[in-house]
Structure 1
Amino acid sequence: MRARHERWQHSSAREICVCVDDFGLHRGINEAVLALVGMGRVQAVSAQVGGPAWSAGARELSLLDPQGVDVGLHLDLTECPLQAGIRMPLKEAIGRAYAGRLNVAQLRSEIRAQFDAFEDALGRAPAYVDGHQHVHQLPVVRSLLVQELLLRYPERNTGRMPWLRNTRGPSRKAHADWGTWAKAEVIAALGSRALALLAQRHAVAQNRRLLGVYDFSGDAQAYGRRLWRWLGAAENGDLLMCHAGLSTGQADPLARARFIEFSVLGSLEFAERVAFKNIRLRPMHQILESR
């Protein structure tokens, strides 16, 4: 492990993956994601299969080259799950998970249904799995998720097992302020270590760390400053999460932040900064295979 770490640290370029979450939630997100993919600015797309715009956008996702873009399942229990009865606010999901009060049979059924919906629409397994609002790492959820992966994809020893998002964050210096560093720490504390141990036990790969956590406030200049700090702190194998989108007039509490992210990620300055900081953007499955 140490030798691998040293090899990564001394490579000529740092390799990271930029991932857009929430594809399928509404048309504006779908359009923004596909535009950024076309520009080569993102290399992973997290699909919310219960989202209102999933069916309309799934065909376009199915046409993307799986070698060039990782399309993953954005496991959702808090906004648009397939079984309406399982939907719960994030705070309730966290509380019930840690109190051991989740309905295991219902949760297992929901996880399977979301995998089925993804595979039916794209004709292939997801390249990875993460969670809407990071629910994939919660107690019980993470165990059922890994069980489902092992049941569905026994060919994992040939390298075809989907990878799992690790929410472990970078050090304080990677964040523009203490508040967003604290938010990143809270997210990681909700299950990143336990999920990592479970993944290691079953030889399921993960990204190194998660960049991109913030409170969705500020203008384009503020987001740009955050982004440059994340890029500066990035290490090989890191995942940079974003929530880009275009406005559609639909109710979306993140609409302004989504448009700002889209504008900054789609800018020439972003491409120049990536090159200046000696970063190579690649799908995570390629980075993991090169370890």
Structure 2
Amino acid sequence: MSDERFLCICADDFGLSEGIDAAALELAELGKISAIGCMVRRKFWHAGSPDLRQLDAEHVDIGLHLDLDFPSAPGGRDGSLVSLIAMAYLGLLQGNRLRDEIRFQLNSFEDRMGRAPAFVDGHRHVHQLPGVRDLLIAELMGRYRAAPPWLRNTAPAEPRWLPRGKTDAKARVIHALGGGALQRLAEQHGVPMSRCLLGVYPFPATEGDYRHAFAQWLRQCRSGDVLMCHPSLGDAPHGLQGQSTPHDESRRREYATLRALDLDALHATTGIVVAPLSRVFGDPAARSRMPVDLTDSLRGAPEELRW
């Protein structure tokens, strides 16, 4: 199909709980997602990583979800995002500690996976903050200069299919916290980046609201975009231990939506192929379909998408 669009659907937060890990692994096996971001500082990373190694790297990118959202993290005195952002913009982050933390997390990923991460992004988008982005790219170039992992771009897609509102505003605030500077820095060093970020919405949302938003993101997407998601099996009826993870109900709704996605119908009606970005970057024909101009007109999709 000449008008195919290659979309990376990435499940974040692997390692945070058993339910999150189980959902990501199941959806990856079914081809409903094409990337998984790992939190190597979290309790269930070590237990879940052997199963990750069994996934086909040709079909699923496994990457580092850089995590600075815990009490002992550099700059996060109380483990809060607000503290980290404030210290980043005031130039108060301790560079040596932050560099050591980035190295620790990359080392932990390599030790458990036996390879470099296919991509790096940030839990709550911390990878783009001032002070963090410079050290991160320096470390990536020092380790993987010949073939650096791709980075997640937080640029919002043009909101031509969405009325301006909370979802659009939240996406723009996320990008304003350092997305443009990260993109320029990555370009200077030849580090590949995804095109736009989809999947931003205000918590909480009903399953119907999420499915509606998901359909809108599919209408917006272009080749090279990342649609982030946070699925979880939750607790019952799967017999999983309760982990008190944030937004558990929303995570379960995301899982249900992704689990019901009909990939064949999606491709037939929209031309969308769910694929890892590393494969897109490595395929000249697929990469040629990535728009250079982020303001290019968006392609449409039928009003009704099959789930």
TM over 0.5: yes
Percent identity between matched residues is 43
Q: Which secondary structure does the structure 2 equivalent of 1:172 belong to?
A: coil
In structure 1, the partner of 2:26 is: 35
AA aligned to 2:233 is: L
Q: Which secondary structure does the structure 1 equivalent of 2:227 belong to?
A: strand
CA 1:92–1:152 in structure 2 vs 1: closer, same or farther (change >3 Å)? Answer: same
Structure 1 CA distance for aligned equivalents of residues 262 and 57 of structure 2: 27
CA contact (8 A) 2:155 2:197 kept: yes
In structure 2, the partner of 1:289 is: 282
**1:193 lines up with 2:180 in the alignment:** yes
CA 1:169–1:84 in structure 2 vs 1: closer, same or farther (change >3 Å)? Answer: closer
Structure 1 CA distance for aligned equivalents of residues 76 and 219 of structure 2: 43
> 1:288, CA displacement in angstroms?
1.7
CA contact (8 A) 1:77 1:87 kept: no
> 1:271, CA displacement in angstroms?
5.5
Equivalent in 118, 139, 150 of residue 163 of structure 1: 150
> 1:238, CA displacement in angstroms?
0.6
Q: Which secondary structure does the structure 2 equivalent of 1:74 belong to?
A: strand
In structure 1, the partner of 2:256 is: 263
| 1:57-136 to 2 correspondences below 5 Å | 57-79=48-70, 88-136=79-127
Q: Which secondary structure does the structure 1 equivalent of 2:6 belong to?
A: strand
> 1:67, CA displacement in angstroms?
1.7
> Unpaired runs of 5+ in structure 1?
1-9
Q: CA RMSD in A?
A: 1.9
**What TM-score does the superposition give when structure 1 sets the normalisation length?**
0.90
User: Which 4+ residue blocks in structure 1 deviate beyond 2 angstroms?
Assistant: 79-88, 172-177, 268-275
Structure 1 CA distance for aligned equivalents of residues 63 and 245 of structure 2: 22
CA contact (8 A) 2:75 2:84 kept: no
Structure 1 CA distance for aligned equivalents of residues 267 and 164 of structure 2: 22
Structure 1 CA distance for aligned equivalents of residues 7 and 221 of structure 2: 7
CA contact (8 A) 1:76 1:131 kept: yes
CA 1:188–1:88 in structure 2 vs 1: closer, same or farther (change >3 Å)? Answer: same
CA contact (8 A) 1:244 1:261 kept: yes
CA contact (8 A) 1:264 1:270 kept: no
> Unpaired runs of 5+ in structure 2?
236-241, 288-307
Q: Which secondary structure does the structure 1 equivalent of 2:160 belong to?
A: helix
CA 1:268–1:100 in structure 2 vs 1: closer, same or farther (change >3 Å)? Answer: closer
AA aligned to 2:114 is: G
CA contact (8 A) 2:77 2:83 kept: no
CA 1:133–1:171 in structure 2 vs 1: closer, same or farther (change >3 Å)? Answer: same
* Count of aligned pairs: 278
**1:180 lines up with 2:167 in the alignment:** yes
Q: Which secondary structure does the structure 2 equivalent of 1:139 belong to?
A: coil
Structure 2 CA distance for aligned equivalents of residues 103 and 231 of structure 1: 40
**What TM-score does the superposition give when structure 2 sets the normalisation length?**
0.86
Structure 1 CA distance for aligned equivalents of residues 61 and 72 of structure 2: 22
Structure 1 CA distance for aligned equivalents of residues 248 and 75 of structure 2: 24
Equivalent in 187, 212, 217 of residue 230 of structure 1: 217
Higher helix fraction (1 or 2): 1
> 1:176, CA displacement in angstroms?
6.1
